[in-house]
Chain A
Amino acid sequence: MTFYTFDGTLDGLLTAVFDAFERHEAPEKLLAAGDMLPLFCEQVHEVVTDEAKAKRVWAGLEKRLSREALRMISVSWLSELPELANPLFGYVCKTFRQPAGVSIERNFADPDVLAVTNIARKVLHEQLRMKQFIRFQKANDGTYLAVVAPDHNVVPLVITHFADRFNDQPWLIYDAKRHYGYYHEGGGAPVRVTFEDESAVPFNLADGKLSDEALSADDHLMQELWRTYFKAICIRERMNPRKQLKDMPRRYWKFMTEKQ
């Protein structure tokens, strides 16, 4: 039985596909660096990530898959789930073994295609939740700040939406879990930002609140108005907290103005 180990990056995974074809092997399993090797492991090949090889594999995929399927693959990678590696490896290998012109991307009876598609769907679902639940506070320098901590790395998927919607206001969306964010100011594309000293930022990473000195003068009133609205719109005769939790899971509440 053959096992491959790789460094856990997408380039590493694509290199693994390259190696498998070059060595005429069908590895049993792809292991990330640091994973425990299984018993009865006869042969281990360590994949050395090579950007050139990865690029060739990706170019091959571009020829064989539709744009929609390629997007689903890129999106699924943002899930950061360890269980994605093997189905994705299988999906890519199978794509190259298919006769030309017959893509397996919509064969949902195939376990690998199904697993990758389902993971991508999960990620897309969460990016929608970011569009729904991100809450900005206005700082006194006019910047709008939102702090999030999504399960998957979805912030890169939503920034075009916010840049389009709020193109005339400077904003910062910061992922507290992954310690980076995107800053947007007038016109141009949002830029990726990180803070060297996270403890010095004027907002709390646990609940996303701006400190009182940094908050703009009327923001407290706006937040209070929103909370008032949120309470008033509820029809008490129809209380349904289960539905509320289903559509707005509690893990997102800590950054949401109306639930703080």
Chain B
Amino acid sequence: MLTENTMERLRILTESAKYDVSCSSSGTVRGGKKGMVGNTVGGVGICHSFADDGRCISLLKVMLTNSCMYDCAYCVNRRSNDIPRATLSVTELVDITMEFYRRNYIEGLFLSSGVVRNPDYTMERLVAIVRELRTRQRFNGYIHLKSIPGASPELLAEAGRYADRMSVNIEIPKEESLKLLAPEKDHQSVFQPMKRIQQGVIENREDRRHLRHAPRFVPAGQSTQMIVGATKETDRDILTMSSMLYAQPTMRRVYYSGYISVNTYDPRLPVLKQPPLVRENRLYQADWLLRFYHFKVEEIVDDQTPDLDLEIDPKLAWALRHPEVFPVDVNKADYEMLLRVPGLGVKSATLIVNARRYGNLSSFDLKKMGVVMKKAKYFITCHELASPLPGAMPGINELRPERLRALLVSPQERKMAEKEQQLSIDFGV
């Protein structure tokens, strides 16, 4: 039975869970079934609300307990922190999930936990909750379960049958930095469960080829998270790690979490007045380029520019470094090339490819279709823009990249980037 007392513990455990950025409910389509509660819609999932920090609320993101035996420097829940600790019982968590779900507050549950006693003990209790939800409550909505590093393969296998998505967080992209901040952990403890989950998914795929009704195993794949700005890694280190992870067949999302100074007293960590939000945003843009725009890491960051430009987005930065491929003719260029034009996204490129079958497109047509020309106009030619007559639009090659760059950075973007750079100067360590 839920009471007022539950509320205080829910508050504590939510505050402890909120630094995990993943919240998506994507990746599985599962229709409702008679005698069961819920479905999953796939696509990009459904966000049910947006908190005051602008982040979406899709799942009930909560910890089973925030007591933890580890002492990782970047984590609020480290054992040396003096914060209120709480634990929810299995029935309480199951009740809250079902009641919230039935009122259309959430898409499902995102459950993680601090490690108590040992990894197996903790994992067992996590599995007990999802087992109860799936078998007794007949819950058919979305479940995202954190896997506890070091838990036994049997528990992982059982958890995978109930969960839609599982995740293990890398947190720090380089092992030596991780060793510094979390001496009790290493990369192996993260990669091993990842590999196990992947193996499970691949075996399950094989099984389902022979037995159509074999229960699915982690159908929505895995995700992971890296903290940005807590250690000295460059964007190149981070993105190289991401692209390595995306090469794995079950890795769906890598999240980036701008470091928030939660443990200000720890000398191993930088003191940031404000989380590095611009850098985090640029990393997500680069991540999108990797996943949807056919870019390679080496094209986004290289030896000369190991960090992303904070003032301009990574695609524009790439275009300014490669003026030789422009201008692109929107009436002839293939889809991949259109995607490389700054300002054109997947939506605009698709619109153009569809519409140009009916006739040549002019810049006026593009504008009408809703293509944002602010940046794109310097990189494309279409009918009239291609004309060699005086008065034609000057492109990137006439203007030179460095002058164009100055034109395209808005004062607001420049101010935000400057502010963030100043804040990161007093980096500790």
Contact = CB atoms under 8 A, between A and B. Distances in A.
Interface string B61-78: 110000000000000000
Contact of B52 (A108, A187, A239): A239
Contacts, number: 161
A135 B355 contact: no
B32 A164 contact: yes
A108 B354 contact: yes
B234 interface: no
Interface stretch (A1-9, A18-26, A136-144): A136-144
Nearest to A136: B103
Contacts of B275: 237-238
Interface stretch (B207-215, B357-365, B395-403, B421-429): B357-365
Nearest to A226: B105
B297 interface: no
B10 A228 contact: yes
B11 A164 contact: no
Interface in A73-118: 104, 106-111, 114, 118
A251 interface: no
A68 B144 CA distance: 33
Contacts of B357: 106-107
A106 to B, nearest CB: 4
A243 B50 contact: yes
Contact of B53 (A118, A161, A238): A238
B208 to A, nearest CB: 23
A49 interface: no
Interface string A152-194: 0000000001111111110000000000000000010000000
Contact of A232 (B4, B15, B54, B102): B15
A109 B49 contact: no
B44 to A, nearest CB: 9
B53 A248 contact: no
Contacts of B6: 225
B34 interface: yes
A111 B355 CA distance: 12
B35 A168 contact: yes
Contact of A229 (B2, B14, B258): B14
Contact of A233 (B35, B61, B104): B61
Given A109-B361, A238-B260, A131 B53 contact: no
A118 B347 CA distance: 13
14 contacts: A106-B354, A106-B358, A107-B355, A110-B358, A111-B368, A136-B103, A161-B41, A234-B51, A235-B18, A235-B19, A235-B55, A235-B260, A241-B52, A241-B54
Interface of B: 2-4, 6-7, 10-11, 14-15, 18-19, 31-32, 34-39, 41, 46-57, 60-62, 96, 99-100, 102-105, 258, 260, 274-275, 277, 351, 354-355, 357-359, 361, 365, 368-370
